[in-house]
């Protein structure tokens, strides 16, 4: 489907999940791919009945995938600020309903363990929303990454810091060197996974992720092992994927 239709379809899927299976938390992602998704979600929520809106607002609980380590409180480039501006405040949710790892914790490795444990206590993820990094990462699971990697603090690759430099004045060195991310272990334990990929720049890595045998060099390739993986892509990201079929 085309770009705007991707965002609308994904937003509708997230709302449907909250209405039909509110038992488990949502797993959420940040990044440019998700900006139109959350905008569509805010719009679509307002079209629902008052009772449905209330059910969604009251029952909302989500765990984000990841957060940079070391950005100051309220730094607009933090994923916490991204979620507050694009989802939590527009939907009228409490901050405790939209959870992320704390990138300001004095011991990020301990914070990663705490966050992973908090997710486990909540029952794990129901529907996990995922974007795709140009180097094949999901969340911030940088290559090489095995399918059992747990929630942890890790060092970001040069490729990822370059990919995300736009938000930091274009300077990859200004991008934090470390991040906390849910691991492939927690991601693959989700009941359902929704991978969203848009833009021609992602076509090659999407094809590798879905067509090559799963391997640590393409962390997203482990998603092939998940029994309930849905992939929503626009035409540009589809590229030559379906040629010859």
Question: Which chain residues interact with ligand GLP by CB under 6 A?
Answer: 29-33, 65-66, 131-133, 139-140, 160, 164
Nearby residues of 179 by Cβ (< 8 Å), 6 or more positions away: 66, 67, 68, 69, 103, 140, 153, 154, 156
CB-wise, 88 or 160, nearer to ligand GLP? Answer: 160
186 in active site: no
Catalytic residue among 17, 64, 67, 135: 135
Query: Cα separation of 189 and 210, whole Å?
Result: 18
Please state the closest distance from residue 236 (CB atom) to ligand GLP, in A. Answer: 13
CB-wise, 42 or 162, nearer to ligand GLP? Answer: 162
Please state the closest distance from residue 99 (CB atom) to ligand GLP, in A. Answer: 15
142 in active site: yes
With beta carbons less than 8 A apart as the criterion, state whether 70 and 178 touch: yes
137 in active site: yes
Position closest to ligand GLP via CB: 131
CB-wise, 93 or 182, nearer to ligand GLP? Answer: 182
Greatest extent of the chain over all pairs of C-alpha atoms, in Å: 53
CB-wise, 19 or 85, nearer to ligand GLP? Answer: 85
DSSP strands (E only) in 16-58: 26-28
Complete DSSP assignment for 142-159: PSS--TT--SEEEEPPHH
**Side-chain-facing half-sphere of 208: CA atoms under 13 Å:** 17
Catalytic residue among 17, 67, 111, 142: 142
The residues assigned a catalytic role are 66, 135, 137, 142
């Amino acid at each position: 489907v085309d770009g705007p239709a991707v965002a609308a379809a994904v937003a509708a899927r997230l709302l449907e999940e909250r209405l039909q299976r509110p038992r488990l938390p949502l797993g959420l992602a940040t990044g440019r791919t998700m900006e139109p998704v959350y905008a569509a979600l805010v719009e679509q929520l307002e079209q629902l009945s008052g009772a449905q809106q209330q059910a969604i607002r009251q029952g909302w609980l989500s765990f984000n995938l990841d957060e940079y380590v070391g950005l100051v409180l309220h730094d607009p480039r933090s994923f916490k600020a991204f979620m507050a501006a694009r989802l939590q405040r527009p939907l009228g949710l409490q901050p405790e309903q939209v959870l992320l790892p704390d990138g300001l914790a004095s011991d990020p490795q301990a914070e990663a363990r705490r966050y992973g444990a908090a997710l486990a206590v909540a029952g794990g993820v129901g529907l996990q929303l995922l974007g795709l990094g140009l180097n094949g990462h999901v969340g911030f699971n940088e290559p090489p990454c095995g399918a059992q990697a747990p929630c942890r603090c890790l060092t970001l690759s040069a490729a990822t810091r370059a990919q995300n430099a736009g938000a930091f004045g274009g300077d990859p060195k200004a991008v934090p060197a470390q991040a906390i991310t849910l691991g492939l272990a927690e991601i693959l334990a989700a009941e359902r996974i929704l991978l969203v990929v848009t833009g021609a720049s992602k076509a090659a890595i999407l094809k590798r992720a879905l067509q090559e045998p799963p391997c640590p060099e393409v962390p997203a390739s482990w998603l092939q092992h998940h029994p309930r993986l849905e992939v929503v892509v626009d035409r540009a990201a589809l590229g030559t994927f379906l040629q010859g079929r």
